[in-house]
Structure 1
Amino acid sequence: MHQSLKIITALALVAPTALNAQSPDSTRADSTRADSITGYWGNPHRNAGIRVTSTGTYNRVEGLPVMVGPWVRDTVGGVALRADVLGIVRSADSFHWDADNVGHSITLDARRADPAGRGWDLNLSSFDVVEAVEPWQMSGGESGLATFFFHRDYRDYYGRHGARATASLLMSARSSFTVGLSNERWTSRDARRVFTAWKNGAAFRPNPVADDAHFRIASAQARLDSRNDPVAPATGFNLLAEYELGSGRITTPGAISSFARSNPSGHITYGRLFLDLRDYNRISPTTQINARLVLGGWLHGDPLPMERRLSVGGVATLPGYDFRDATLPGSDVSQCNSGSPAPPGLPAQCDRVALAQLEYRTELHAHFLDVMNSRAIRIRGVGLTVRPTAVIFADAGRGWLVGDNPRGLRYSAGSAPSFGSFRSDVGLGLDLGLFGVYAAKAVSVSKEPANVFVRVSRRF
Structure 2
Amino acid sequence: MSWHHTTTLAVLLLALAPAAALDAQEPSPELPDSAALRAIDAYNTADIRMVGASDIAIGTTLEGSIAVLDGPLRVSGTVQGDVTVINGDLEMLAGARITGSAFVVGGTVSGDTAAVLGGVVAYPEPLRYRFEGPGIARARRPVRAVITAGRDFAFGRTDFLAAVYGGYNRVEGLPIVVGPRARLGHSNPTVLEAHAIIRTEKPLDFERYGWILRAEQYLGGRRAVSFGVRARSEIVAIEDWMLSDLENSLATFLLHEDHRDHYRRQGWSIYLRAHHPQRPIDAMLEYRDERHRSVRAASPLSLIDNGKDWRHEPAIEEGTLRSITLSLAYDTRNDENDPSAGWYVRGALEQAIDGELALTPEAGAVLGPDSTDSHFTHLQLDVRRYLRFSPWSRLGLRVFTAGSLDGDALPAQRQHTLGGEGSLPGFPLFTQDCGAREQVIERNNDGAYPFYGCDRLALVQIEYQASFPFAGRVGDRLGLDLDLARAIRWSLFFDAGRAWIEGDSRAGRSRGADDFFADTGVGVRIGPLGLYGAIPITGRGHDFNFFVRIGQRF
- What interval of TM-score do these two structures reach, taking the shorter chain for normalisation? 0.7 to 0.9
Question: Deviation at 1:88?
Answer: 1.4
Q: Residues of 2 paired with 1:27 and 1:270: CA distance? A: 37
Question: Deviation at 1:406?
Answer: 9.2
1:221 to 324, 327, 332: 327
Question: Deviation at 1:304?
Answer: 1.0
Query: What SS class does the counterpart of residue 277 from structure 1 fall into?
Result: strand
Question: Deviation at 1:254?
Answer: 7.6
1:50 to 149, 157, 160: 160
**Does 1:87 pair with 2:196?**
yes
Amino acid paired to 1:92: E
Name which of structure 1's ranges 345-354 and 314-323 shifts more when overlaid on structure 2.
345-354
Q: Residues of 2 paired with 1:136 and 1:120: CA distance? A: 27
> Which runs of structure 2 are paired with 1:33-432 in the superposition (5 Å)?
36-39=152-155, 46-76=156-186, 78-93=187-202, 99-112=206-219, 119-172=224-277, 174-246=280-352, 247-253=354-360, 262-264=368-370, 268-300=374-406, 302-325=408-431, 334-337=432-435, 341=439, 344-345=448-449, 348-365=452-469, 366-367=471-472, 371=481, 373=483, 387-404=487-504, 410=511, 421-432=515-526
Query: What SS class does the counterpart of residue 286 from structure 2 fall into?
Result: strand
Contact 2:150 2:158 in 1 (8 A): no
Structure 1 length-normalised TM: 0.81
Contact 2:150 2:159 in 1 (8 A): no
> Which runs of structure 2 are paired with 1:7-26 in the superposition (5 Å)?
8-21=5-18
Q: Residues of 2 paired with 1:197 and 1:174: CA distance? A: 42
For structure 1, the 5+ residue unaligned runs are 40-45, 326-333, 375-384, 412-416
Question: Deviation at 1:249?
Answer: 1.3
Q: Residues of 2 paired with 1:256 and 1:312: CA distance? A: 22
Q: Residues of 2 paired with 1:386 and 1:127: CA distance? A: 46
Amino acid paired to 1:456: I
After superposition, what is the alpha-carbon deviation per residue over 1:384-425, rounded to whole angstroms, capped at 9, x for unaligned? x971111100100011102338999549xxxxx87xx21110
Closer, same or farther: CA 362–267 of 1 in aligned 2, 3 Å = closer
Contact 1:22 1:456 in 2 (8 A): no
Contact 1:254 1:306 in 2 (8 A): no
Closer, same or farther: CA 433–406 of 1 in aligned 2, 3 Å = same
Name which of structure 1's ranges 363-372 and 222-231 shifts more when overlaid on structure 2.
363-372
Higher-RCO chain (CA-CA 8 Å, sequence separation at least 6): 1
After superposition, what is the alpha-carbon deviation per residue over 1:292-341, rounded to whole angstroms, capped at 9, x for unaligned? 0011111138521110001111100000011124xxxxxxxx11117953
Question: Deviation at 1:445?
Answer: 2.7
Closer, same or farther: CA 147–113 of 1 in aligned 2, 3 Å = farther
Question: Deviation at 1:353?
Answer: 0.5
Amino acid paired to 1:196: S
Question: Deviation at 1:165?
Answer: 1.3
Q: Residues of 2 paired with 1:110 and 1:216: CA distance? A: 23
Q: Residues of 2 paired with 1:208 and 1:236: CA distance? A: 38
Q: Residues of 2 paired with 1:254 and 1:454: CA distance? A: 40
Of structures 1 and 2, the larger Rg is shown by 2
Contact 1:257 1:337 in 2 (8 A): no
Q: Residues of 2 paired with 1:339 and 1:60: CA distance? A: 17
Question: Deviation at 1:149?
Answer: 1.4
Amino acid paired to 1:348: Y
